[in-house]
Amino acid sequence: MRSRVVVRLLILALICSAGIGSAAAEELLLSGATMGTTYHVKVAAAVSGKEISSLQARIDRRLEQLNQSMSTYRVDSEISRFNRLKSIDTNFKISDDFLTVMLAGDAVYRLTDGAWDGTVSPLVDLWGFGPAGRTDKVPSRQAITEAMRKVGFDQIEISAKGYLRKHRPEVMIDLASIAKGYGVDQIAELLETSGFKNYLVEIGGEVYASGRREDGRYWRVGINKPVKTAAPDAVYAALDLQNQAMATSGDYRNFEEIGGRAYSHIIDPHSGYPVTHAVVSSSVVAPNCTLADGLATALMVMGPEKGIGLLNRLDGVEGLVIVRKPDGSLENHWSNGFSPNPG
């Protein structure tokens, strides 16, 4: 699901950030660029200028490590070197970060019966949603069949000893639909080990909230209105988070028109074709952001019935799937424990 559009969560608690220039500030905001997007970290605590500089440096250093491990845009990253490997007899040694995300991806792949698949890039490219650019014709069945031979997360052996092995030499990995969630979790862990208990971490719209804001209220996040013409800050629904992660995936700004028909950029790994249901957005709340990120992508493929059915079977996981009806109106499908407030 490399080509998915990540719907930016509206981090309402970040709008009125406190100053960060002195120890008197009770809410600290740090931000920067990473993973082809931006990050924001807000901490409800009094922090000195020296501590701020140290924390910023450690956050940037940790995110740089993750980029060097799993960025497909870096030719020397671990994932890029693995993707260039053509041998099925090589045990490719990987870092703990890469291994952890691969194991998490494998769990989501199996949990969703393959709706999440980190090897789907060949199909995404074939349909004109990848780096190669747009296409002016529907791919042939033969071309789709050929691309599907290169797809399958189960075509990669993941060893707990810290290596990967390909079962098919042409299989490649793209973890964009789960790595940002892992990045959020890692920065949350960094903050915890630094002694912070009340904070909000956001990378590219994926978020984890711990404790409470400085004013004692829960951290509040919003889901962008899933309409192509909506303003970037238009809130569709909002909810409070405490010691929870939330991720959102959407399909209302990215589609391809071929032969007068619009095709979704969300590709079903089982069929090789774009999904035909009318899901425009899916949001998942979970104990960690890695899981929330992967599931939010999978729900775009699974559709509302199967997707919400899965969430209702998972402890501590809730979600919202938004469907566009034929008349253009939006219809909500949410799990048993999910109750957002109107934006």
Q: Is the pLDDT of residue 205 over 80?
A: yes
pLDDT in tens, 56-67: 999 999 999 999
For the ranges 118-127, 156-165, 245-254, 283-292, the lowest mean pLDDT is seen at 245-254
pLDDT, residue 65, reads: 98
3-class SS of residue 63? helix
Give the chain's length.
343
Q: Which amino acid is at 211?
A: G
pLDDT, residue 157, reads: 98
pLDDT, residue 182, reads: 98
Task: Give me 248's structure tokens.
Answer: 């959102």
Domain ranges of the chain: 71-174
pLDDT in tens, 252-284: 656 666 776 777 788 999 999 998 888 999 999
pLDDT, residue 254, reads: 60
pLDDT in tens, 287-313: 999 999 999 999 999 999 999 999 999
The topology under which CATH files domain 71-174 is T-fold (1.10.3980)
Question: How far are the Cα atoms of 39, 67, 73, 92, 143 from residue 34, in angstroms, in the given order?
Answer: 7, 8, 12, 26, 35
Strand 92-93 versus strand 163-166 pairing type:
antiparallel
3-class SS of residue 130? coil
Rg of the chain in Å (alpha carbons): 20
Q: Find the mean pLDDT for residues 116-143.
A: 89
Q: Find the mean pLDDT for residues 142-156.
A: 96
pLDDT, residue 330, reads: 94
